[in-house]
C-alpha cells in the first residue's frame, strides 16, 4: 500500500515512521527545506516533548475535545513517546510539572530523531514540496497535486499540516483548506497558549521580570473567578506571559468581549495575616529607612517602585511613619496585584491553534475521515488542543501513530 503524508512535523513524522514500520510504502511532503521546523522552536528551543503522566492526566489537561483523545492516548502513551525517542539515541529527563525534555536541551535533537525514525523505515522525504490539493475520486482520497503541477497517487493520504500558530514555521492553514474541500467542517480558529496583552503602565516597567512559585486568579468584570493556577510567569513590554499565563489564555480564548483581570499573588504560601507579620518584621529592621529601601527582602528589586507607586505611599516616607492602613494596602497588592487584560498577541505568537477539523467527522480510533475514505487527519489540524506542559506534542504523536495504525482498515 502506498501512503502519502502531508507535513513533516511531529504528527506527520510519527505517522510516516510508524506506517513504514508496519510495512507501507511511504512518501512524506514538506513545504519547508527542513523537517520539524516547529519542533525546533518548542520549549524555547529545548522541546518539551511530552508530559510524564498517564493518559487520563493528559486528557484532564486537554480542554479542547478531550474525549476524542481516549483511543489515541492509550494506543500511544507518553511513556511510548519517551521510549521511542530514547531508542533513536536521544536520552530524556523529567523536570518540574512532569515535563519531559531531551537531556541535551536541544529541540533539534528530537526533530533529527524523528527524521531518523522515518529514514530507518525507508520513508521517502520530499522537502520544498508544497501540496496544492488532495485528489479525491468517488469519495476516496487517491493522491496529491503539488504546486509545481506534479501528481503523486497513493492508496491513502494523511493530512498533518499543523494549525495556524507560528506561521513562519509553515503552519499557514493548508490543512483546513484541504479539509473544507473534502466536505469537512472547520471550527473557529483561535490563538491558544499565547501571551496576554495589558493596558497597565507597569507591565512595560517590569519587562523581563520573571516570577516563580507565584499564583494567579483570573476574574471577570463581575468578580467571578474563571481560572486559577500556580507556577511561573513573566512580564513583557505588552503585558504578561510565561507558562501560567499561556494556560490561562486557553481558557479565555475568544471571550474578550468580557473584561478580565489577572490577580498575581507573589506570596501564595502566606495568608494576609502572616504576610503582615513578615512586613512588620522587615519594617522593624529598616525602621529609619525610606519606604523605597524597605522592601528588598520581600520583593524583586524591579517590583518595589511599582508596588509603592500603586499603593499611593510616598517612596521617601520613613518606615516609622507608615500607617497600619498603608501596610494593609501593600499586603493587598503583594497578594493580588491586578493586571487588566485586553486580549492576546494573536496567532503569530500562539503555541497552538484552538479549533480545526471537527472531531465529530473523524473516527477517533483510526483518524480516518468519515466524509472521505482513505483520508486521514493528525496533529494540530484537528480541533484538539491542551494546556502547556508537553501535552500538545503528545497529541501530535498519539494521533500520528493512530493514523498509521488506522491504515490497516484499508489494506
Residue pointed to by grid coordinates 508496519: 22
pLDDT digits (tens, 9 = 90+) for 13-71: 999 999 999 999 999 999 999 999 999 998 889 999 999 999 999 999 999 999 999 99
Report the C-alpha gap between 164 and 249 in whole angstroms: 16
Query: In which band, very low, low, confident or very high, does the pLDDT at 315 lie, cut at 50, 70 and 90?
Result: very high
Show the 3-state SS of 336-351.
Answer: CEEEEEEEECCHHHCC
pLDDT digits (tens, 9 = 90+) for 74-100: 999 999 999 999 999 999 999 989 999
H/E stretch holding 217: strand 210-220
Residue 298 corresponds to which cell in the numbers above?
520581600
- Cα 390 to Cα 117, 261, 317, 380, 411: the distances in Å are 20, 27, 48, 14, 33
Residue pointed to by grid coordinates 486580549: 343
User: What percent of the chain has pLDDT above 90?
Assistant: 89
Q: Quick check: 73 pLDDT over 70?
A: yes
Q: Quick check: 165 pLDDT over 80?
A: no
Predicted local confidence at residue 198, as pLDDT: 96
Predicted local confidence at residue 251, as pLDDT: 83
Share the mean pLDDT of the chain. Answer: 95
Sheet holding 140-146, edge to edge: 131-137, 140-146, 151-153
Residue 59 CA to its chain's centroid (Å): 15
Average pLDDT over residues 345-365: 93
Predicted local confidence at residue 43, as pLDDT: 87
- Cα 42 to Cα 10, 16, 134, 227: the distances in Å are 11, 21, 29, 25
163 neighbors 170 (Cβ within 8 angstroms): no
pLDDT digits (tens, 9 = 90+) for 388-411: 999 999 999 999 999 999 998 777
Q: Which residue has the higher pLDDT, 275 or 44?
A: 275
Average pLDDT over residues 316-339: 96
Amino acid at each position: 500500500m502506498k501512503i502519502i503524508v502531508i507535513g513533516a512535523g511531529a504528527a506527520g513524522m510519527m505517522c510516516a515512521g510508524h506506517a513504514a514500520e508496519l510495512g507501507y510504502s511511504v512518501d512524506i511532503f514538506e513545504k519547508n527545506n527542513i523537517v520539524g521546523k516547529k519542533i525546533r522552536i518548542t520549549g524555547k528551543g529545548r522541546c518539551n516533548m511530552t508530559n510524564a503522566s498517564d493518559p487520563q492526566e493528559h486528557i484532564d489537561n486537554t480542554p479542547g475535545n478531550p474525549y476524542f483523545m481516549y483511543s489515541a492516548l492509550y494506543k500511544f502513551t507518553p511513556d511510548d513517546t519517551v521510549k521511542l525517542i530514547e531508542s533513536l539515541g536521544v536520552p530524556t529527563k523529567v523536570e518540574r510539572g512532569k515535563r519531559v525534555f531531551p537531556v541535551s536541551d536541544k529541540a533539534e535533537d528530537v526533530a533529527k530523531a524523528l527524521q531518523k525514525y522515518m529514514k530507518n523505515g525507508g520513508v521517502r522525504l520530499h522537502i520544498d514540496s508544497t501540496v496544492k490539493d488532495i485528489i479525491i475520486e468517488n469519495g476516496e482520497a487517491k493522491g496529491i497535486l503539488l504546486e509545481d503541477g506534479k501528481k503523486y497517487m497513493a492508496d491513502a493520504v494523511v493530512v498533518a499540516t499543523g494549525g495556524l500558530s507560528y506561521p513562519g514555521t509553515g503552519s499557514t492553514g493548508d490543512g483546513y483548506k484541504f479539509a473544507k474541500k473534502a466536505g469537512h467542517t472547520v471550527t473557529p480558529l483561535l490563538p491558544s497558549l499565547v501571551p496576554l496583552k495589558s493596558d497597565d503602565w507597569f507591565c512595560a516597567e517590569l519587562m523581563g521580570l520573571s516570577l516563580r512559585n507565584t499564583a494567579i486568579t483570573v476574574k471577570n468584570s463581575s468578580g467571578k473567578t474563571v481560572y486559577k493556577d500556580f507556577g511561573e510567569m513573566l512580564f513583557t513590554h505588552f503585558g504578561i506571559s510565561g507558562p501560567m499565563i499561556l494556560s490561562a489564555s486557553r481558557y479565555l480564548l475568544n471571550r474578550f468581549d468580557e473584561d478580565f483581570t489577572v490577580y498575581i499573588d507573589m506570596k501564595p504560601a502566606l495568608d494576609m495575616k502572616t504576610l503582615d507579620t513578615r512586613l512588620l518584621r522587615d519594617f522593624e529592621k529598616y525602621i529609619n529607612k525610606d519606604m523605597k529601601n524597605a522592601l528588598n527582602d520581600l520583593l524583586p528589586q524591579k517590583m518595589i517602585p511599582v508596588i509603592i507607586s500603586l499603593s499611593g505611599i510616598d517612596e521617601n516616607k520613613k518606615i516609622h511613619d507608615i500607617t497600619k492602613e498603608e501596610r494593609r494596602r501593600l499586603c493587598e497588592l503583594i497578594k493580588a496585584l491586578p493586571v487588566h487584560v485586553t486580549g492576546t498577541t494573536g496567532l503569530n505568537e500562539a503555541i497552538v491553534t484552538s479549533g480545526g477539523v471537527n472531531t465529530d467527522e473523524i473516527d477517533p480510533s483510526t483518524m480516518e475521515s468519515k466524509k472521505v475514505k482513505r483520508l486521514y487527519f493528525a496533529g494540530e489540524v484537528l480541533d484538539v488542543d491542551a494546556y502547556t506542559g508537553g501535552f500538545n506534542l503528545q497529541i501530535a504523536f498519539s494521533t500520528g501513530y493512530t493514523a498509521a495504525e488506522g491504515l490497516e482498515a484499508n489494506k
